[in-house]
Structure formats: structure tokens, C-alpha cells
């Protein structure tokens, strides 16, 4: 109850626009299931082609850095940028609706595959444009001064930033829950549907997806009405209109385009495209090193906007966050083992996903005091210990612990019971780590470079996930795991081999526990970070 009151107390109407955009991002997954079935049933597209299309669809997220700087330059037009993103997303949905419900008319213009490609490429452009604005708006949403103009103290400011980012994650997750409910209703008894009923259901889903841009735009509209109301009250109470406008609309100082950031971002995009689309040996590693160097250069340039103490804090925090997020995982071998050996089917894995989404919302509220009152160093240590702890059940089940517990409990505590219990405890961890990171980025960002700072720091922290994927690849090369692959006639081409999975799990567990804690200790020891 105290946690809820704290969040309510920290809530500001300025939170609404980014929260609505984040909610829209969560709801945007409403077409995922339909998209998969539509491609499978109606489009003659190979897996290779779809993989290539996925690469191009991911390109707008690479453009997040220059877009961030663009948003800062055009900040007073942010509502227009959100509206533009909404129009692009709506266009993507309407193309698919038309292709399903008015196929003949659409095919008279272009073939189905071309329409699908256009729709697929348009959607992420709209999402990225709104996401960049929303990230920057989370910085603006938290007031730096109270109604009297007095600066808000550090702890209160931190509390509001955490609340802002927490509510942002809740909005996204709540959106995914809504999507699950809608899909369950639309596709109830789907096995008994006629072909026409399926087509109509597919079309309806794309019509329902138009709620996504409506949600994001409505948040901007509601916030604008609230700002206008406050402005009128201040003027009526004798406040100078110019001063009232600055107080309410939080107009930032105009900034000039930073050519280093623009050129560096363009180089980043060109470099990634050139290497990523080539057949160069070690292309992944080359892209990672090059991307790391470019982002680090941009980050160093931006750090000049900060004083020496803030710069050291930025460097120290960035290091420990990067290392924490860069820890390798088990890879697909763990999932294969769960399916082949533990007999986890699609229904059960879906159940785990539903449990995870629901309990994540509950968990991030329960764990809010940990996120708000703990330093980044303490949080990383706690999360590293917890992360390694939650790998232990997988290690235990690999060595048959679930068989023992099932035997002594008459089948009650079996592999599925352990998986559900572990998921229930583990599910909030991802958001618990992300919320303070996002709050730190928001709090560190200079007011006149909100979007730029957020975009580059977010790119830096996300780059750690690329390092994690590389580490996972290297571990899977060291500990070879194979699933059973059969030929068309049923003969086994590649036998299943999970003999090295246990060692892989143990190594991942130890790395997750030891490396971030050691790096955190080192950063504090050399006094790069003071908390």
C-alpha cells in the first residue's frame, strides 16, 4: 500500500504522454500471431527472405541515435513527430487489412509480397520515431523544480524518475497482457473456424491494431489540454504570460545541430549496413567493435556537457551496467533440453509467458523500494547474485533433481512445478534491472540534449546485449549442444546431444555471479563512482 501511495504521490500529468506511447508499444504486438499465420498460409516467402526482411525492419532502430538528436533540435514539434509516427503505423496496418479483405483490388496495384514488405518496413519506422520522443519525454516529464520554483532535492528527483520508468515498464507489460486477452477472444475455437472466418479474424486484428496509433496520439492530446488549463489558471492569478508559458510548457533552449553527432551517427549506420550485409569473416565481431568505438566517441563528446564529478559518475555507472548486461546466456540449447527432455510443450511454455508477464507487473511494484533506495552498485551486486541463483534450478533439473522431488512428493513437485516456481520468482528481474538504468539515463541527461543523450546511452547499454550474444556464441562453440534432426523419411540426420549442457549451465552461472561483482568492486576502488 505504501508503495502504491508513493507512486501516486510521484505521479504527474506530464507522465501521461510517454506512458501512453509505451502502452501503445506493448499493444503493437497484437498482429504478431496473425502475421506469422498469414505469411505461412498466403505468402510464398522463403525463410531466407524473411530473415533478410527482418534485418531491414531492424534498421530504424539503428537510426535511433541520429533520430534522438533530430528530436532535440525539433523538440517543440514533438507532438507532430508522434503524430507522424502514428500515421506511418496506421498506414502499415491498413495495408495489411486491405491485403486480407480487399485482396483483388490490392493485387491490381502490387503483388502480395511487395505489399507485405512495405507494411513490414513502415511499422518499425513509426515505432522508433515515437520511441525516441517517448524516451526524451520521460526526462521532461519529471519536474526539476516545485511550483514555487525551488529545486527538488536529489532523493525526491530520483524517486520520481524511478516512478516514471517503472510506470513506463508497467505500461508496456500491461499492453502485452491486453494483446493476450484480445487474441484469446478473437481466436477462441480457431480449430473449428472456416477459411472465411479465419480471413475475417485476421482482418479484424489489423483493424483492432489501429488502436495503437490512437493510444499514442491521445496521450499527447490529453497532456496538451492539461497544460492549457494550468496556463490559464496561472495567467488568471496574475503570473506573466511568458513566465507562465515557461513554467507549464517547459520550453528548452534552442540547440544547434551537433555535426559530430550527426556525422558519427551516419557513419555508424553506413558501417553497420556495409559489414552486416557482407560475407566478411568475423562480421559480427567487426560490427560490434566498430559500433562500440563510434558510440563511445559520441558518448565522450556528450560527456563534455557535464562537470567532472558527473562525468566520472557517468563513466563508472556505464562500465558496470555494460558488464552486467554483457554476461553470456545459455543459448537455445537450454530451450531444446526443456522441450526434448523435460517435455515442455507449446501450451506450457505459453503458460510460463503469461505467468511471467503478470508477475512482472506485481514484482516491479513490490521491488520498487529496492530500485529506488539502492545505489546502482548495490543493485548490480544483488541482481548478479539473484541471476545466478535462478540458474540453479536448471542445473538441478539437468542432473535429475526433478525426478527425485517428483518421487518423494507423489508427482507434485515435478519439472513443470519447479519451472513455474522459478519463473514466478525470476520474471521481475529483467524490469528491476532496466528501470533503474532508464532512470539513471533520464537523470543524467542534460535538459537541452534529452533525446540525444537518451538515444546514445540507450544504444550503449543495448550494445552490451550484442556482447552478450557474442559471449553466448563462444560458449556454445566451446560446449557443443545438438538437438535431434530427422530427414524427410524419418531417419535421424543429427542425434540429440546434451552431454555438455550441464557444464555450460555451470559456467554461465559462475560468470553471472562473479564478473559483474568484481567489476563493480574495481570501479568503486578506483573511485570512478561514489555510491
pLDDT at 447: 60
Which is higher by pLDDT, 393 or 436?
Answer: 393
pLDDT digits (tens, 9 = 90+) for 452-496: 676 677 777 777 877 887 788 888 888 888 767 666 566 777 777
- Give the model's confidence band at 203: pLDDT under 50 very low, under 70 low, under 90 confident, else very high: confident
C-alpha cell at 491: 531417419
Pairing, β 485-486 against β 492-494: antiparallel
Q: Is the pLDDT of residue 315 over 60?
A: yes
pLDDT at 322: 87
| Topology agreement, domain 1-224 and domain 311-531 | yes
Q: Is the pLDDT of residue 340 over 70?
A: yes
C-alpha cell at 22: 509505451
Region at 490 (left for phi over 0; alpha for psi -120 to 50; beta for the rest): left
95-107 mean pLDDT:
86
Q: Is the pLDDT of residue 67 over 60?
A: yes
Average pLDDT score, the chain? 75
Task: Give the Cα separation of 311 and 302 in Å (integer).
Answer: 10
> What is the greatest pairwise CA distance in the chain?
85
234-261 mean pLDDT:
66
Task: Give the Cα separation of 381 and 436 in Å (integer).
Answer: 14
CATH architecture assignment, domain 1-224: Up-down Bundle (1.20)
Q: What angle do CA 118, 104, 84 make, to 5 degrees?
A: 30
Residues 6+ positions from 179 with CB-CB distance below 8 Å? 26, 27, 29, 30, 32
Which is higher by pLDDT, 108 or 67?
Answer: 108
- Give the model's confidence band at 130: pLDDT under 50 very low, under 70 low, under 90 confident, else very high: confident
Task: Give the Cα separation of 161 and 454 in Å (integer).
Answer: 14
503-529 mean pLDDT:
87
pLDDT > 90: what percent of the chain?
A: 4
Question: Of the spans 51-60, 269-278, 311-320, which averages the highest pLDDT?
Answer: 311-320
pLDDT at 433: 65
- Give the model's confidence band at 79: pLDDT under 50 very low, under 70 low, under 90 confident, else very high: confident
Q: Is the pLDDT of residue 339 over 60?
A: yes
Q: What is the dihedral of CA 444, 450, 452, 453, to 10 degrees?
A: 0
Task: Give the Cα separation of 373 and 366 in Å (integer).
Answer: 13
C-alpha cell at 40: 505461412
Residue 250 phi, psi dihedral angles, 5° rounding: 50, 55
Which is higher by pLDDT, 139 or 26?
Answer: 26
Q: Is the pLDDT of residue 51 over 70?
A: no
- Give the model's confidence band at 511: pLDDT under 50 very low, under 70 low, under 90 confident, else very high: very high
169-190 mean pLDDT:
73
Task: Give the Cα separation of 347 and 55 in Å (integer).
Answer: 29
CB distance 507 to 477 below 8 Å: no
pLDDT at 48: 42
Q: Is the pLDDT of residue 292 over 70?
A: yes
CB distance 457 to 444 below 8 Å: yes
Residues 6+ positions from 460 with CB-CB distance below 8 Å? 295, 296, 299, 318, 322
Concatenated DSSP letters of 261-301: HHHHHHHHHHHHHHHHTS--TTHHHHHHHHHHHHHHHHHHH
pLDDT > 70: what percent of the chain?
A: 66
pLDDT at 507: 94
Q: Which residues pair with 494 in a beta bridge?
A: 485
Query: For helices 332-340 and 501-525, what crossing angle results, to 10°?
Result: 140
Where do the domains of the chain lie? 1-224, 258-304, 311-531
Residues 6+ positions from 312 with CB-CB distance below 8 Å? 527, 528, 529
pLDDT at 1: 47
291-299 mean pLDDT:
78
Query: For helices 501-525 and 376-389, what crossing angle results, to 10°?
Result: 170
Burial of 105 by CB count in 10 Å (0-12 exposed, 13-18 middle, 19+ buried)? exposed
Concatenated DSSP letters of 172-241: HHHHHHHHHHHHHHHTTTGGG--HHHHHHHHHHHHHHTTHHHHHHHHHHHHHHHHHHHHHHHHHHTT--H
Q: 3-state DSSP call for residue 410?
A: coil
- Give the model's confidence band at 10: pLDDT under 50 very low, under 70 low, under 90 confident, else very high: low
The domain over range 311-531 is classified in CATH as 3.90.920: no
CB distance 165 to 435 below 8 Å: yes
Residues 6+ positions from 491 with CB-CB distance below 8 Å? none
Task: Give the Cα separation of 318 and 337 in Å (integer).
Answer: 35
pLDDT digits (tens, 9 = 90+) for 217-232: 887 787 777 677 767 7
CB distance 162 to 52 below 8 Å: no
CB distance 459 to 64 below 8 Å: yes
Task: Give the Cα separation of 461 and 479 in Å (integer).
Answer: 27
Q: Is the pLDDT of residue 190 over 80?
A: no
Q: What angle do CA 342, 343, 347 make, to 5 degrees?
A: 130
pLDDT at 510: 95
122-139 mean pLDDT:
79
Q: Is the pLDDT of residue 88 over 80?
A: yes
Task: Give the Cα separation of 415 and 315 in Å (integer).
Answer: 43
pLDDT at 321: 83
Which is higher by pLDDT, 431 or 370?
Answer: 370
Question: Of the spans 295-309, 392-406, 493-507, which averages the highest pLDDT?
Answer: 392-406
Task: Give the Cα separation of 89 and 95 in Å (integer).
Answer: 10
Helix (H) / strand (E) containing 462: helix 450-478
- Give the model's confidence band at 249: pLDDT under 50 very low, under 70 low, under 90 confident, else very high: low
The reported pTM is 0.64
Amino acid at each position: 500500500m505504501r508503495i502504491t501511495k508513493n507512486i501516486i504521490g510521484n505521479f504527474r500529468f506530464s507522465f501521461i504522454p510517454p506512458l501512453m506511447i509505451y502502452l501503445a508499444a506493448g499493444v503493437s504486438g497484437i498482429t504478431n500471431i496473425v502475421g506469422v499465420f498469414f505469411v505461412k498460409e498466403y505468402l510464398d516467402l522463403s525463410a531466407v527472405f524473411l530473415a533478410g526482411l527482418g534485418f531491414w525492419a531492424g534498421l530504424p532502430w539503428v537510426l535511433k541515435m541520429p533520430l534522438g538528436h533530430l528530436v532535440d533540435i525539433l523538440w517543440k514539434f514533438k507532438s507532430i513527430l508522434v503524430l507522424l509516427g502514428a500515421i506511418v503505423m496506421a498506414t502499415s496496418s491498413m495495408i495489411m487489412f486491405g491485403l486480407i479483405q480487399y485482396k483483388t483490388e490490392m493485387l491490381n496495384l502490387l503483388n502480395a509480397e511487395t505489399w507485405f514488405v512495405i507494411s513490414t518496413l513502415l511499422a518499425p519506422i513509426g515505432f522508433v520515431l515515437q520511441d525516441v520522443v517517448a524516451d526524451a519525454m520521460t526526462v521532461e516529464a519529471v519536474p526539476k523544480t516545485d511550483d514555487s520554483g525551488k529545486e527538488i532535492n536529489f532523493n525526491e528527483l530520483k524517486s520520481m524518475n524511478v516512478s516514471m520508468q517503472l510506470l513506463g515498464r508497467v505500461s508496456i507489460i500491461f499492453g502485452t497482457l491486453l494483446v493476450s486477452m484480445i487474441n484469446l477472444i478473437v481466436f477462441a475455437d480457431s480449430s473449428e473456424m472456416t477459411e472465411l472466418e479465419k480471413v475475417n479474424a485476421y482482418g479484424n486484428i489489423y483493424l483492432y491494431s489501429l488502436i495503437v496509433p490512437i493510444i499514442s496520439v491521445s496521450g499527447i492530446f490529453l497532456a496538451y489540454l492539461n497544460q492549457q488549463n494550468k496556463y490559464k489558471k496561472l495567467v488568471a492569478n496574475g503570473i506573466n504570460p511568458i513566465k507562465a508559458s515557461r513554467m507549464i510548457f517547459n520550453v528548452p533552449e534552442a540547440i544547434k545541430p551537433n555535426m559530430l553527432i550527426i556525422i558519427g551517427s551516419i557513419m555508424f549506420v553506413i558501417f553497420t549496413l556495409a559489414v552486416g550485409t557482407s560475407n566478411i569473416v568475423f562480421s559480427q565481431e567487426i560490427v560490434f567493435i566498430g559500433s562500440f568505438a563510434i558510440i563511445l566517441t559520441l558518448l565522450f563528446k556528450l560527456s563534455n556537457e557535464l562537470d567532472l564529478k558527473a562525468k566520472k559518475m557517468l563513466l563508472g555507472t556505464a562500465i558496470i551496467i555494460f558488464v552486467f548486461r554483457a554476461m553470456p546466456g545459455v543459448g537455445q540449447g537450454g530451450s531444446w533440453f526443456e522441450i526434448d527432455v523435460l517435455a515442455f510443450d507449446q501450451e506450457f511454455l505459453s503458460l510460463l509467458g503469461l505467468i511471467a508477464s503478470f508477475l512482472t507487473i506485481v514484482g516491479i511494484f513490490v521491488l520498487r523500494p529496492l530500485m529506488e533506495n539502492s545505489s546502482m552498485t548495490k543493485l548490480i551486486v544483488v541482481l548478479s547474485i539473484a541471476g545466478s541463483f535462478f540458474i540453479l534450478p536448471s542445473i538441478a533439473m539437468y542432473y535429475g533433481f526433478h525426478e527425485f522431488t517428483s518421487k518423494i512428493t507423489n508427482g507434485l513437485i515435478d519439472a513443470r512445478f519447479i519451472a513455474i516456481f522459478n519463473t514466478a520468482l525470476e520474471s521481475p528481474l529483467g524490469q528491476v534491472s532496466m528501470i533503474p538504468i532508464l532512470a539513471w539515463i533520464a537523470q543524467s541527461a542534460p535538459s537541452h540534449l534529452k533525446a540525444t543523450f537518451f538515444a546514445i546511452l540507450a544504444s550503449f547499454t543495448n550494445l552490451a546485449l550484442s556482447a552478450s550474444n557474442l559471449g553466448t556464441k563462444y560458449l556454445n562453440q566451446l560446449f557443443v549442444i545438438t538437438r535431434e534432426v530427422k530427414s524427410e523419411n524419418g531417419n535421424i540426420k543429427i542425434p540429440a546431444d546434451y552431454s555438455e549442457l550441464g557444464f555450460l549451465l555451470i559456467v554461465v552461472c559462475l560468470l553471472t555471479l562473479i564478473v559483474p561483482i568484481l567489476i563493480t568492486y574495481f570501479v568503486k576502488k578506483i573511485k570512478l563512482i561514489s555510491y
